[in-house]
Amino acid sequence: MNINVQEKKKFLNWLVSTVSFSRREVSWVLNYLANHEAILTNVHFVEGAMQTDRGLSVRSTEIGGEPFVLTIQNQTFYDIDQIFHEIRMNWKQPLYLECIFPNPWEKPLYLAVLEDNPFERWNDHVDEEVQKNVTEYLDKEAMQLKIEKLYRQIDLALENGDRDAFLELSDEVNRFKLDQKEKSH
């Protein structure tokens, strides 16, 4: 997925001005990225950056843990100068950036730049309970759409004075509703 560089800049500027980090150097590096479009072109915002070949993880103060970590081919770096040098010298290589801060899924600017991690797909780790809830919701929505369609057909049958179609469609709606009640108990 190709995210617009301007969207990335907008997100990074928001992140630096809104989220607090335990080390000010984190903000410096994020500002550096925001101000260098050539580098930012190769930055991909993902979750699970530590699973990538070249992943950078930044954590807000509220989350805790190491504020700034770079992983390259399973080798981990914590020194900010070393990390900055690596980013600057290898700017043509993809950099997978994970920004860990409170309630990221509620932030439209974050969601606008978030990409699927090619090294660790999000949907490979969806909890069974979540899958079940999503499936139930989609089934319920599909049933509701069918019932709404039947109601429109019933209205049309009434407008056309088609008694047989009205009775048949009414029976079908009642069967669907009965089926829904049985499934919910």
| Nearest residue to 52 via CA among 37, 35, 73 | 73
121 or 166, which is more confident?
A: 166
pTM over 0.85: no
- Helix ranges restricted to H, the chain: 5-18, 24-34, 37-40, 80-89, 108-113, 128-160, 163-184
Beta strands at 95-100 and 75-77: parallel, antiparallel or unpaired: unpaired
Output the six-digit token pair for 172: 């079908």
Residue among 99, 100, 55, 47 nearest 76 (CA): 55
pLDDT digits (tens, 9 = 90+) for 112-134: 999 999 998 666 666 788 788 88
Second-level CATH architecture of 5-125 = 3-Layer(aba) Sandwich (3.40)
Residue that wins the pLDDT comparison between 121 and 151: 151
pLDDT digits (tens, 9 = 90+) for 30-85: 999 999 999 999 999 999 999 999 999 999 999 888 999 999 998 999 999 999 99
